[in-house]
Amino acid sequence: MASTERTDLVVSTPAGPIRGEATAYGAVFRAVPYAAPPVGEHRFQPPAPASEWTDVRDARSPGPTAPQAAASGPLADLLPNVVVPGDDYLHANVWTPDPAGSAPVIVFIHGGAFTSGSNALSGYDGTAFARDGVVFVVINYRLGADGFLWFGDGVPNLGLLDQVAALTWVRDGIASFGGDPGNVTVMGESAGAMSIGALMAMPAAEGLFHRAILESGAGHHAISPAAARTVGRRLAKVLGVPATREGVASVSSAELVAGQTQVSAQLPKAPFRRVWGDVATNLMPFEPVIDGEVLPVLPIKAIEAGAGAAVDVLVGYNTQEARLFFLTTPAKGVVPRLMAAVLGRLFGLGRKDRAAYRGWAEGPARDYDAMIALLTDAVYRIPALRLAEAHGRAHVYRFAWQSPARDGRLGAAHGLELPYVFDNLDNAEWRGMLAGRGDAGLATRMHASWVAFAKTGDPGWPAYTPQSRVEREFGGADRVVTDHHPASRELWAGRR
């Protein structure tokens, strides 16, 4: 690229000039707004265009994050979180190998159960992608009630519409950073991947991306209008305001975050459909709503009907996803068996089905391992396979590297693939999950597959079809496998 003197790091964007920071492999521009701050008259409204500027804007420091609770509890050391106050949080960080180039683009949508996360995490550093010839963009979007509250009136799914606004901004302005707007991959993990499943089904997002990478999330995570109203009423009751958008808007962001945290804590205490509707199945109170317009139908149904057929897809899961959420659950005794029974009933599994999972488990903690496998399949593995089946030419991966963290109990848990995908095992924010240096060779292979997919649509192994059912395993056997564990896959036929 051109000289990396600071004066050479000013680029002209459609909104105005910005100054970035040189890196060893190009440059990074932080906190570049793609929409106006969602406060005041813009609160609980669709994203509005960002204001333009004439003076050079300094884009060398992290910006504010969406309102959210700070990390706490037993997982705080495993899932780091950064909270930066401020209203102007609808922005993007951009790593580029060359502002004068025309490189493939990846837009990363972070996870966090639709209530936490941001582009301020250093674990989402895009340096390795820029090193390998990709413009890497990490966005913020509205979370919790700000992004997903809906009482049945007004515009729903504001968090998803923020993502659409960011992708529109990429289409219209990424060339200023050396990116090719005709080769855009959306990539997300957990709630970010679930968001991508929704984007594939949304008319407003059509044509804004050409490839999609979905890590530990697919097309099953959206709720009915009735369930959304149930969550809204519970939130309003906690806040002591009328159950309307105007009522909730009358409280401060801090009060709203505290209230939605209370509502989230209520769900695991009574995870029953008669109480929560389909929120109980998805185990998250704030998530996309099937409103019939912004999100017309459940994403997997839209994909089965042909939505996203022109988009190249890479989708997958970790082999022990649910371990992250049950680290404090006793591995032996009656508790895991009771929890498996409750979870099984939520997903329509009978006693024989739950017994099958126990029969497939090995070792002294069979009930615990059966519970982990059941929930991993229900929420992550089976939705990933169903999306691949519906799409018809998706590539599927499974991540099987097991962390030694928490005396080995973390295993191949939810989120563990991220430091490997980003090829930044040394980042301090991943130390808790890795509990050591990790496997550098595996990170090289996995990251290279993601880069290859963004560039060509081919990560390096055959697509998944009903005839072949090919999955690329990273870690574990670290090879291509065919029709892994068909008995558990077939058990979910007609259920998930």
Question: Residue 457 CB: number of other CB atoms within 10 A?
Answer: 17
* Annotated catalytic residue, options 189, 215, 287, 321: 321
The dihedral of CA 115, 120, 123, 129: what is its sign?
positive
CA-based nearest residue to 136, from 192, 100, 178: 178
Give the H/E segment covering residue 446.
helix 440-456
Separation of alpha carbons 5 and 8, rounded Å: 5
Structure tokens at 263: 């509502």
CA-based nearest residue to 69, from 115, 101, 22, 14: 115
Residue-wise over 194-223: b if at least 16 C-beta within 10 A, else e? Answer: bbbbbbbbbebbeebbbbbbbbbbbbbbbb
Structure tokens at 131: 């090193």
Residue 190: active-site member: yes
Per DSSP, the residues of 124-180 read: G--HHHHHTT-EEEEE----HHHHH--SSSS---HHHHHHHHHHHHHHHHGGGGTEE
> What are the start-end ranges of the H helices in 305-434?
334-346, 351-360, 366-376, 382-391, 418-421, 431-434
| 490 contact partners, CB below 8 Å, separation of at least 6 | none
Residue 5: active-site member: no
Separation of alpha carbons 179 and 379, rounded Å: 34
Separation of alpha carbons 323 and 413, rounded Å: 5
Separation of alpha carbons 182 and 264, rounded Å: 40
Q: Are the C-beta atoms of residues 399 and 170 closer than 8 Å to each other?
A: no
* Annotated catalytic residue, options 220, 221, 395, 414: 414
Question: Rounded to 5 degrees, what angle do the CA atoms 131, 422, 26 make?
Answer: 25
Residue 485: active-site member: no
* Annotated catalytic residue, options 116, 118, 176, 190: 190
Structure tokens at 463: 């697509």
What Rg do the C-alpha atoms of the chain give, in angstroms? 22
Place of tokens 């050409």: 210
Enumerate the active-site residues. 190, 321, 414
